[in-house]
Structure 1
Amino acid sequence: HGQVIDVWLSTRRDLTAARAFFTRALATGAVPVKVATDGAPAYPRVLDELIAGALHDTEQYANNGVEADHGRLKARLRPMRGLKTFRSTRILATGHAFIQNLKRSHYDIATHAPVHQRLPAAFNELALAI
């Protein structure tokens, strides 16, 4: 699984939203070699503009990993009956991405721990650092 670089929530999926997302994601310093998206018409133009060297994969099952991750987030939200504000949605989605990256060892935190113990070990390391 790839690393979640950024989370973006928008009411629209137009050029402005796509450009804002990719600009903010690239500001983290990570430049992807491959970007898997669905077939939204705004993505190819923005990717050619901002990350010309990246492979844009829009094959039918290319973004299954992203959709599966969305499924875990939606399963978490279902008992909560959704979220009331854009702000709370953004906070929860960003936290979810952080936890997924910890579990997948995308950070140098708790990499020594076995997979099933990685998350508690990461929180112990973070607590000691604070």
Structure 2
Amino acid sequence: MSSTPARPWLPPESAFAGFRFPSEVIVIAVHWNLRYCLSYRDVEELLVERGVEVDHVTVYRWVQRFTPLLADAARFRRHSPGDRWFVDETYVRVNGVWRYVYRAVDQYGQVIDVLVSARRDADAARRFFRRALSTLKVTPREVVTDAAAVYPRVLDEVIPSAWHHVEQYANNPIEADHSQLKHRLKPMRGLRTDRTAQVIIAGHAFMQNLRRGHYELGLDAPPALRVAMAFTDLAQAI
């Protein structure tokens, strides 16, 4: 009786396989774009100054491709969020049309999650909370929102155990945090699609959390080098 020979074990293929540029170049381009207020053309220019000729469209594609992969690789090193969530919506232009961005931070400044939505309604709020709960596996004991009429019904449905807090100025932490996002988006010359907006805004949240120390990454490096070290470690994981 013949037996089928066992297939040799092969390591999983790197996410960087098939790309013309080495992973170090791709990762530093993504890192710069997420960390600093740079356009894709700015990153192109910085790379050219270092002897690497890359078109800004390629930089854009790298950011879209690798930002979700890097953030996903980091999820097991993320600190558990706090139990008090501040939730609010801001807005951005996507291809000339206003889009709403649902965001939440906890009492320690960790960005819980973000969601780009064409509408500001109960369905969007419901999707935001369900997405955050399924991703983090943590249920808050208190949720602070503005006085939007949709929140009481949605929270009673999705997080019935949480105390819903509405009070003037109570939501200042998330409202102040929106300014960080707006500052980052300003040099980008617009967002073209909802998917692009979701990746960029989620990537900004990921970078904020890295810089604020909400991941067990880069801890052995000096403070000024921790984010760069974190990106190096995450690149090896994907």
TM-score for the superposition, normalised by structure 1: 0.84
Tell me: CA distance 1:116–1:41, structure 2 relative to 1, closer, same or farther (3 Å). Answer: farther
Matching residue within 40, 48, 53 for 2:156: 48
The answer to which of 85-94 and 36-45 deviates more is 36-45
Change over 3 Å in CA distance of 1:113–1:47 after alignment to 2 = farther
Aligned to 1:22: 129
Given residue 182 of structure 2, which amino acid in structure 1 is its aligned partner?
Answer: K
Q: State the shift of 1:115 in Å.
A: 4.5
Q: Tell me the residue number matched to 2:49.
A: none
Gap runs ≥5 in structure 1: none
Asked if structure 2 preserves the Cα contact closer than 8 Å seen for 1:73 and 1:93, the reply is yes
Residue 178 of structure 2 aligns to a residue whose secondary structure is helix
Distance of 2:226 and 2:149 partners within structure 1 = 39
Partner of residue 10, structure 1? 117
Map of 2:199 onto structure 1: 91
Say whether residues 1:67 and 2:175 are aligned partners.
Answer: yes
1:79 aligns with 2:187: yes
AA matched with 2:206: F
Percent identity over paired residues: 57
Q: RMSD of aligned C-alpha atoms?
A: 2.0
Give the aligned partner of residue 90 of structure 2: none
Whole-angstrom distance in 1 between the partners of 2:116 and 2:144: 17
Q: Which has the higher helix share?
A: 1
Distance 2:203 2:138 in 1: 19
Alignment partner of 1:9: what SS? strand
* Residue of structure 1 in register with 2:60 after alignment: none
Query: 1:16-36 deviations in whole A, cap 9, x for unaligned?
Result: 111111111111212122222
Q: Which has the higher strand share?
A: 2
Between the aligned partners of 2:209 and 2:142, the Cα distance in structure 1 is 18
Q: What's the offset of the Cα at 1:112?
A: 4.5
TM-score of the superposed pair, with normalisation by structure 2:
0.49
Letter in 1 for 2:166: T
* Bigger Rg, which one: 2
Report the Cα offset of residue 91 of structure 1. Answer: 0.8
SS at match of 1:56: strand
CA distance in 2 between counterparts of 1:22 and 1:126 reads 27
